[in-house]
């Protein structure tokens, strides 16, 4: 009796392989990885041909770790790798801020923005990290607001665009190499305003506005933004109505740095 040779059609063959692939894909990794390990074990010599791994190593005693140990170490490695990336990111942010903050007594705490509300940011640092209400918050080297409320692990930042945010400021006047002092307050929109600056002071659009230094809160002046509009006051023509545009768009900021002044310890 002649033996009939089984030969599936092209479609059957393709679907068969496809289903096999799906089964492979659905199998747990610890099952399929046996094939990978077997391949490496069998062809280890050829795979390491010409590499330093082929040379005898002092700690090479033929010992291997169990798969559970391997997975544990692999998981630990993945976590450490992620922690390293997070720390590197924080280091990059801090090094940028530190470039313009040479005062060694100024401590900076980097925080991640976890939520945004109207003229308010929620950050993932709190009193445990040394945060307190009233501290200055920097975003990309410019003052963007103040710490408003502090809990153990979380805090809220009041942005300078909020009408509740008031700060002492300085307006630069490079022509006379001096500053005009004043107070900034958010306009409730995307900027802030400065009032009660007498008309006798020559204020121009484009001048820089700095947060004035404050004992225990800010060691040196830090920029807030630039004057976007400067006109005579609507209520009183003897003072300026000044509008300020913040340096950065708050929507693009993901990390902030809080200025924490270290008080000297007396013994």
Q: Which two tokens stand for residue 250?
A: 């708050």
Q: Is the dihedral of CA 172, 223, 130, 88 positive or negative?
A: negative
CA separation, residue 230 to residues 204, 210, 239 (Å): 7, 16, 10
Q: How far apart are CA 22 and CA 17, in angstroms?
A: 9
Site size toward another protein, by CB under 8 A: 27
Residue pointed to by tokens 């801090």? 94
Instruction: Note whether 77 binds another protein by CB under 8 A.
Output: no
Strand partners, 48: none
Instruction: Note whether 43 binds another protein by CB under 8 A.
Output: yes
**DSSP 8-state code for residue 152:** S
Question: Binding residue for another protein (CB under 8 A) from 1, 41, 50, 176?
Answer: 50
Q: Which is nearer to another protein, 14 or 248 (CB)?
A: 14
Among 6-14, 87-95, 132-140, 148-156, which window interacts with another protein (CB under 8 A)? 6-14
- Three-state DSSP class for 123? strand
Distance of closest approach, residue 21 Cβ to another protein, in angstroms? 4
Among 41-49, 98-106, 145-153, 155-163, which window interacts with another protein (CB under 8 A)? 41-49
Q: Which is nearer to another protein, 47 or 232 (CB)?
A: 47
Instruction: Note whether 83 binds another protein by CB under 8 A.
Output: no
Instruction: Note whether 47 binds another protein by CB under 8 A.
Output: yes
Strand partners, 167: 184
Instruction: Note whether 85 binds another protein by CB under 8 A.
Output: no
Instruction: Note whether 205 binds another protein by CB under 8 A.
Output: no
Residue pointed to by tokens 């920097």? 138
Helices (H) and strands (E) counted in the chain, each on its own, are 4, 12
Residues that bind another protein (CB under 8 A): 10, 13-14, 17-18, 20-22, 24-27, 29, 32-33, 35-36, 39, 43, 46-51, 53, 78
């Amino acid at each position: 009796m002649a033996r009939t040779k089984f030969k599936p059609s092209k479609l059957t063959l393709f679907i068969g392989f496809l289903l096999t692939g799906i089964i492979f894909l659905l199998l747990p990794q610890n099952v399929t990885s046996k094939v990978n390990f077997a391949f490496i074990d069998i062809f280890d010599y050829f795979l390491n041909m010409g590499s330093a791994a082929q040379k005898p190593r002092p700690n090479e005693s033929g010992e291997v770790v169990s798969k559970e140990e391997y997975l544990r170490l692999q998981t630990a490695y993945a976590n450490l790798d992620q922690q390293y990336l997070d720390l590197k990111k924080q280091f990059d942010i801090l090094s940028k801020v530190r470039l313009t903050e040479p005062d060694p007594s100024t401590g900076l705490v980097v925080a991640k923005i976890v939520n945004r509300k109207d003229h308010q940011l929620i950050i993932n640092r709190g009193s445990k990290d040394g945060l307190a209400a009233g501290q200055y918050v920097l975003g990309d080297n410019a003052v963007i607001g103040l710490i408003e409320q502090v809990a153990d692990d979380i805090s809220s930042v009041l942005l300078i665009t909020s009408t509740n945010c008031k700060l002492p400021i300085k307006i630069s006047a490079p022509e006379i190499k001096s500053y005009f002092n004043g107070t900034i307050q958010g306009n409730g929109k995307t900027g802030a305003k400065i009032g009660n600056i007498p008309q006798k002071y020559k204020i121009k659009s484009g001048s820089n506005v700095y947060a004035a230094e404050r004992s225990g809160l800010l060691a040196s002046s830090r920029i807030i933004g630039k004057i976007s509009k400067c006109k005579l006051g609507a209520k009183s023509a003897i003072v300026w109505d000044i509008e300020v545009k913040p340096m950065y768009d708050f929507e693009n900021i993901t990390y902030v740095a809080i200025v924490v002044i270290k008080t000297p310890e007396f013994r």
